Structure 1
Amino acid sequence: MRWKATMCGLGLVLLAATACGERPESVQPGSGGQPTGEPSVVAPIPTTDLPPVMPGGPRQMQPPADTAQVPATRVDSSALPSDFPREVYVSADGRQLFVRAEEGGCGRAAAEVTAQDARQVVVTLVENKSNLAGQMCTMDMRYPVVSATLSEPLNERTVVLTSAKRGY
């Protein structure tokens, strides 16, 4: 029977403690806790305009507006893992490629043109990972758009995508 009284007392203490943390709606933030007589209205922060927060600073998550998607028939992504994104965009002048890459945790994605000739351009999507001892890394996946510069415009050449990991 004693344990019931103890549990009821504990419940009342917890109820009182949580009630003390509430703030009346008539107190304006920063007003020192004095009621103003008007209800407080806090506007929500718009999250659609905010870039995602990622290690190492903001990343470009969309290709630039003046780009065109390279048709899937001109993208050879057979060397990529099956769950990798397969989006390639080209700038208006044809000299800049924008490729959707994959990175996670402390990794940072980059694109490197590793070969190019009259028929094809080989782009390696590289995930560079920090190898600092004891560094804490998140367990998330991100899909930034990375860029690579070509020596000649893409025109009708095929884009071959490969991937590599460094610093693991």
Structure 2
Amino acid sequence: MIGAAAVLVLATACGQQQATPQAPAESPPASQELTKVPGRKPAEPPAQDQGGSVPAAQIDSGALPRGYPVEVSAGEGGTLTITGQEGGCSQASAEVGEQRGDRVTVTMVETKPADKNTMCTMDMRYPPITVRLDEPLGDRLLVLKYTQRTE
């Protein structure tokens, strides 16, 4: 009888501790939050500092290896951020080449160790690589080239 009473007390106590979880109130994403001040217009979300993606039609990526990512965004002051590709022991970088009125050339460089006996992992990484142009890309064609080097 005492054992049955103990089980009943424990079951009741456990049942009281279980509360129905309430879903947290969802707030709008930070980019959609606007500050309201009586008598004033709502504050505008801050402007993005980056220019945005360069359209695929403005990129000549024919010299890149098959499967190489082609993602480029233009930023302030003539910067371009290009997705590189590296893996194992290799390191990705980029070099700005010719900058003419109608086109800009950037060479994507993959540098590998000279020692072929170096143990390397078998992973792929896609780091963002930023280069600075003399002038913003604007409507110019971006020609992406590729080269491998050993260190």
TM class, shorter-chain normalised?
Answer: 0.5 to 0.7
- The Cα shift of 1:148 comes to 1.1
Identical amino acids, percent of aligned pairs: 42
1:59 corresponds to: none
- Residue 135 of structure 1: CA displacement? 2.7
1:98 is matched with: 81
Any idea what the Cα deviations from partners look like across 1:111-146, whole Å, max 9, x if unmatched? 111111000000000001122464321111111111
How far apart, CA to CA, are the structure 2 residues paired with 1:65 and 1:141?
29
Does the aligned pair in 1 maintain the 2:51–2:74 contact within 8 Å?
Answer: yes
User: TM-score, structure 2 length as denominator?
Assistant: 0.63
Equivalent residues in 2 for 1:2-81 (5 A)?
66-81=50-65
Q: Structure 1: how far apart are the matches of 2:119 and 2:112?
A: 12
| Equivalent residues of 2:59, 2:144 under 8 A apart | yes
CA contact (8 A) 1:68 1:92 kept: no
Q: How many residues align?
A: 104
Q: 1:79 and 1:107 mapped to 2: Cα distance? A: 19
Instruction: Return 5+ residue gaps in structure 1 as ranges.
Output: 1-63
| 2:138 corresponds to 1:138 | no
| Runs of 4+ residues deviating >4 angstroms | none
In the alignment, what sits opposite 1:42?
Answer: none
RMSD: 1.9
> TM-score, normalised to structure 1's length?
0.57
